Structure 1
Amino acid sequence: MSELSEYLKLQQHQTCIFAGCDDKYAFCLYVSLWSLLKHSPKLAQEADIFVAGFKLSAENKKALESLPGVHVINYTYPSSLPQTSAIMNFTEASFARYDCFGLLKYYEKVLYLDSDVLVQKEIRPIFDQLSDGIGLVQDPTFTTVRGNFYKEIPQFNMNATGYNSGFIVLNNKGSWANKALEIRSWLYKQTLVYAENLFLPDQGMINLAIEQFNIYPLTISEDYNCPASSPTKELRNAYIIHSTGPRKFWCYYYFKEWYEGYSRWLVAGGHPVSIHRGSAFWRWTLRKLHLDNKVFFQLSPDFFTKPLKFGRFVMKKMFRMKY
């Protein structure tokens, strides 16, 4: 997706919602977008919604596009990516979020949404809060830039605030907006320069770009990127819940609405969870007992390695608890 002309052919609004995934994570991005359409209808109705799909199967592409207003566009990194351990741990589609900056040439407002989130409230008003054209949530774990890299980069302030790249809001009113295409280009090129040092690849580079281009983000409340591990009270108040790290909605937590969205994904013809999860014995047991095609077992924690978590999952499902 080195050119943005594909977007322009479909442009109908001045706001864009943007996301990316490959075949492995298509199922959870479907739930993210489904929850946004359900709980943030004002934003969804006034936005073009694009998915940067990396090597998506025809079935998964069709399932994603069964969501109202969603368009899938083929994505590839504009050059050859070095196969470092960190980069290989993430889908190539993660870097599509760099294009959010380029999209400001064509849209007044741009929102990037990660694939493993659950939207719970209308998020359109967040654009009204932006001060310098960009809003980000501080990362709950890697609170400084240093946490995104294996070692320090001398020319950058590694003690600066570390932002999470799972939820990004932009408008074209920032002092840096006239450099939006330059920022996009810098991100793609410099990722190759720092590839060996990147621990959290796309997130680390976006944090560097903030300093490189003298951008002053609005630090958005964690309610817009609330970790799924948070207490129930915080989850209830959250606009967006994010299953950060290895503890995902599909192998650790029971979230009633996420369960419903995933069930809809299967009905739409999408491929079931295919990400490596649980112990080999658990996966073998499910195949042997022909349970691996059941939604409950596709999403439940590993009974053998997390018996208490599995038990809680069963109880929450039985009583149809929200979280």
Structure 2
Amino acid sequence: MTKNIMHICFATDNNYAPYMGISIYSILKASDKNDKFHFHILDNAINKENKQKIIELKNKYRNFTISFYPISALVKICDYPLKNKHLSMTAYARLYLGSILPTNITKVLYLDCDIIVRASLYPIFQENISHYILGGVEDNAVTEEAKRGLNFWDYKSSTYVNSGVLLINLKQWRKENIERQLLTYLKAPLHPIFYEDQDVINFVLKKKIKILSPRWNGLMYLVGTKRNSYININKLRKNLLACPIVHFASPSKPWIKFSGRHQNVLYYSRLMQETPWFDLSCESPNLFTLFFKYLWVHPFCIFKFNFWKDIYLMGFGCLV
């Protein structure tokens, strides 16, 4: 069976390049023998060593090609809001995909670097988005915040999606000049921006987004106790073990020490050991500060079973 090439895009600086490399490795490892990929890297000053390690993956997998698009100059002139400490200005690069990628590419899967893939991505590329600008998965946390009046999203009329996994109809994106619409909104947003480019994409596109199955963006923050009140939370948590795409979408990352014993975290650790970044030194959180800051706000948490369960599964990062 001959398959079309799957075009996949990442955006990263050198700090996150190793984690992007691990993500690419996970895609290749989980792929079917007939899967073919072209990776498009929006490159914010990735060094030669990390680029060489990414290219070395061809020694084991030959079913992919790769292109780097320098964006350092673009990022330098960006002066957009950054509310979340674990993000950088590189996150906004995805807003420029229509003008950066070659015009012959009409469909691309954009992925964040804190993602691993556990099954072939071919099925997501079969999603029909011809009448949409893009497809994405609901971001449950933002929906819940909206229900409590903590943000400005109208959850009753539209579904807010997480921008870490976006299946983009580049043909329609260019036809409707979406890039201009997004940048225009950034200059004069109707509401305060809480979630960087993700807010911009959602507020501008709204009804032009196709909602995909949660399996295409398994949001690992759902494991935390703070999510216990979410609708269908037990089902969502159970599905995390069967999601083809697992997304560590929170400050709690699997490459940080004491990041827990959830099966997806352990799988990430095994993947890392199989890559050219096997000797990557893990970041160490300030456990004392994290723990006592949390304890100050939640003084009785240590008497609750779910608190210790969260620590076991997701490590101390779940306290952030």
Q: TM-score, normalised by structure 2?
A: 0.68
Partner in structure 2 of residue 94 of structure 1: 91
Report the Cα distance in structure 2 between the residues aligned to 1:70 and 1:235, rounded to whole angstroms: 29
Q: Cα deviation per residue 1:107-127 (whole Å; 9 max; x = unaligned)?
A: 132110111111111121223
Q: Which segment drifts farther, 86-95 or 120-129?
A: 86-95
Q: Which segment drifts farther, 223-232 or 160-169?
A: 223-232
Q: How does 1:97-176 map to 2 (within 5 A)?
A: 97-102=94-99, 103=101, 105-131=103-129, 132-133=131-132, 134-143=134-143, 152=152, 160-171=158-169
Q: Cα deviation per residue 1:58-100 (whole Å; 9 max; x = unaligned)?
A: 3223223333333333223366233745176522221122233
Partner in structure 2 of residue 73 of structure 1: 69
Q: How does 1:186-201 map to 2 (within 5 A)?
A: 186-194=181-189, 197-201=192-196
SS at match of 1:190: helix
Q: How does 1:1-323 map to 2 (within 5 A)?
A: 15-41=6-32, 45=36, 47-68=37-58, 69-76=65-72, 77=74, 80-82=77-79, 84-86=81-83, 89-102=86-99, 103=101, 105-131=103-129, 132-133=131-132, 134-143=134-143, 152=152, 160-171=158-169, 178-179=175-176, 182-194=177-189, 197-211=192-206, 215=208, 217-228=209-220, 229-230=222-223, 233-251=238-256, 252-254=259-261, 255-265=265-275, 267-268=276-277, 272-273=281-282, 277-279=285-287
Q: TM-score, normalised by structure 1?
A: 0.68
Q: Which amino acid aligns with 1:92?
A: M
Q: Cα deviation per residue 1:42-61 (whole Å; 9 max; x = unaligned)?
A: 6851x320111222233223
Contact 1:19 1:114 in 2 (8 A): yes
1:312 Cα deviation (Å)?
6.7
SS at match of 2:12: strand
Contact 2:218 2:247 in 1 (8 A): yes
Which ranges in structure 1 are unaligned for 5 or more consecutive residues?
A: 1-12, 283-305, 315-323
Matched residue count: 267
Partner in structure 2 of residue 295 of structure 1: none
Contact 1:84 1:196 in 2 (8 A): no
Q: Aligned in 2, Cα 1:195/1:223: closer, same or farther, shift over 3 Å? A: same
Query: Please, what is the CA RMSD of the aligned residues?
Result: 3.8
1:262 Cα deviation (Å)?
1.8
Contact 1:139 1:163 in 2 (8 A): yes
Contact 1:64 1:72 in 2 (8 A): no
1:237 Cα deviation (Å)?
1.9
Q: Which amino acid aligns with 2:203?
A: L
Contact 1:247 1:253 in 2 (8 A): no
Q: Which amino acid aligns with 2:50?
A: N
Using the aligned pairs only, state the percent identity.
Answer: 21
